[in-house]
């Protein structure tokens, strides 16, 4: 059996195990074990122990549970209420008015969360009822919230970036900073779409809100101060070279606890719930990473990544064609797997290909986050769709249709980042001292 036949067999085995309902981490480990067994001289148990311990014993991985805990703490505060009240007076003069709260609110919360589903749930909890109560079009209110929630993966801190950095041995801090400009560009595309839609659909917009004096806007903005201080504490400490990503995560947890205490929402029950929620999520991700590490090590023994790279190289595809194929591949994969699983499943095979094609791995990290974002709003597995289904009672496929324009704008963002790599690489290149 040659490497390509073996890779096809392992792929079929993986999907068969996943289809049976087995945990993703166990499915990855079983496939890795089967791959190692094809090499008689390789001790499967020793490879299992070594690879899983190496994947788990990573200092960079410490940032993961801390950022998750920070998001869990903030989810239980009045942050979303404060953000809506602080942003609404400034945005109601734009075409589309308060629909922009979905985008700007998600972008701000993304800078302190790191999770797409948490961003969507937190902003949607207050913004969606307010928008529907004021007569905004449900299709736009739900669709823009579904798409904007994906900014939680791109704007740092990002859980998926930590997973990618761990899997590919890249700098978490540089990945975080690389996501800033593409995140702003994507948010700008979303807001531009809202403006154009509102100008062409004036009859579907509610009556204008009463005008708000400038002094009242300034006064309302005081409610944005806590979250802005939190963003400055986390991202500012990384950009300023004062802290690594892991240290910044600890700063974020401390500031989130302080914010929760000052707002009067820090209770013992809430503290325990946030801690247990972060523990469950972190253990799930760490378990998947351990299984993926074993599969990656097994792939190295079998020679499958090298064989696939050579096979694709034979087609002599230019870089843009390779990216087009990879984008289509990830979009299809996103219909069946969550973002973290997509990253850990594919890096062992994809990274040798993109390295050989000459792509910068920091840039490719931003690219892969963008295409993984699409998976958050593609049925039947898109997490954001399930979050909004719980809020609205709508079918996930209906919500997917609502979010389709935002999905297409993400495709545009992918093309922009591919055409202008500096969007992702310029900011990290100015940070020579950041590891």
291 neighbors 27 (Cβ within 8 angstroms):
yes
Domain count, the chain: 1
Residue identified by tokens 């209906």 is: 398
Residue 15 lies inside a defined structural domain of this protein: yes
CA torsion angle 51 169 3 322 (round to 10): 160
Under the banding of pLDDT at 50, 70 and 90, the label for residue 105 is: confident
Which pLDDT band holds residue 154 (cuts at 50, 70, 90)? Answer: confident
CA atoms within 13 A on the CB side of 327: 20
In a domain, 332, yes or no: yes
Mean pLDDT of the chain: 80
233 within a domain of the structure (yes/no): yes
Average pLDDT value for residue range 24-33: 77
Alpha carbon 193 to chain centroid distance? Answer: 21
pLDDT at position 363 over 90: yes
Range of the domain at 367: 3-429
Structure tokens at 316: 């002599």
Q: What is the pLDDT of residue 115?
A: 72
pLDDT at 300: 67
Whether 378 is in a domain gets the answer yes
Cβ burial of 45 (10 Å; 0-12, 13-18, 19+) is exposed
Question: Would 435 be classed as within a structural domain?
Answer: no
Q: With bands split at pLDDT 50, 70 and 90, how would you rate the model's confidence at 365?
A: very high
Within a domain: 434: no
Contact 428, 362 (CB under 8 A): yes
User: CB–CB of 175/362 below 8 Å?
Assistant: yes
pLDDT tens-digit readout, 67-103? 778 877 877 777 767 777 888 888 888 898 889 988 9
Gap between the Cα atoms of 60 and 166, Å rounded: 7
- Per-residue pLDDT at 40 exceeds 60: no
The pTM of the full predicted model, rounded to 2 decimals, is: 0.77
Give the integer Cα–Cα distance in Å for 225 and 347: 39
87 within domain boundaries: yes
Rounded distance, CA 352 to CA 324, Å? 17
């Amino acid at each position: 059996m040659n490497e390509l036949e073996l890779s096809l067999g392992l792929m079929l085995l993986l999907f068969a195990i996943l289809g049976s309902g087995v945990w993703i981490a166990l499915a990855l480990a079983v496939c890795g074990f089967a791959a190692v067994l094809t090499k008689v001289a390789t001790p499967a148990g020793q490879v299992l122990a070594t690879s899983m311990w190496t994947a788990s014993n990573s200092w960079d991985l410490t940032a993961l549970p801390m950022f998750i805990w920070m998001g869990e703490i903030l989810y239980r505060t009045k942050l979303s209420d404060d953000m809506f009240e602080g942003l609404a007076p400034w945005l109601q003069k734009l075409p589309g008015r308060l629909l922009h709260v979905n985008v700007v609110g998600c972008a701000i919360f993304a800078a302190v969360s790191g999770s797409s589903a948490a961003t969507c749930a937190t902003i949607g909890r207050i913004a969606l009822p307010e928008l529907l109560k004021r007569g905004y079009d449900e299709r736009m209110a739900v669709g823009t919230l579904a798409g904007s929630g994906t900014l939680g993966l791109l704007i740092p801190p990002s859980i998926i970036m930590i997973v990618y950095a761990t899997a590919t041995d890249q700098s978490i801090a540089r990945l975080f900073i690389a996501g800033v400009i593409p995140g702003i560009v994507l948010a700008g595309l979303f807001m531009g779409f809202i403006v154009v839609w509102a100008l062409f659909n004036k009859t579907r917009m509610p009556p204008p809100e009463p005008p708000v004096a400038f002094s009242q806007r300034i006064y309302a903005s005081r409610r944005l101060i806590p979250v802005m201080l939190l963003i400055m504490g986390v991202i500012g400490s990384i950009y300023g070279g004062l802290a690594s990503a892991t240290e910044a995560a600890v700063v974020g947890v401390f500031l989130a606890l302080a914010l929760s205490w000052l707002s009067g929402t820090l209770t013992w029950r809430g503290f325990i719930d946030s801690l247990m929620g972060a523990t469950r999520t972190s253990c799930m991700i760490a378990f998947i990473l351990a299984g993926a590490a074993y599969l990656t090590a097994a792939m190295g023994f079998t020679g499958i990544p090298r064989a696939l790279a050579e096979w694709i190289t034979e087609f002599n595809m230019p870089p843009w064609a390779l990216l087009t194929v990879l984008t289509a591949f990830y979009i299809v994969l996103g219909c069946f797997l969550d973002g973290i699983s997509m990253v850990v499943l594919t890096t062992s095979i994809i990274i040798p290909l993109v390295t050989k094609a000459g792509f910068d791995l920091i840039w490719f990290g931003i690219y892969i986050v963008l295409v993984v974002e699409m998976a958050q709003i593609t049925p039947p597995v898109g997490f954001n769709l399930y979050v909004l289904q719980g809020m609205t009672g709508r079918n996930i496929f209906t919500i997917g249709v609502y979010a389709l324009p935002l999905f297409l704008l993400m495709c545009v963002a992918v093309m922009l980042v591919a055409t202008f790599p500096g969007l992702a690489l310029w900011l990290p290149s100015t940070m020579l001292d950041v590891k």
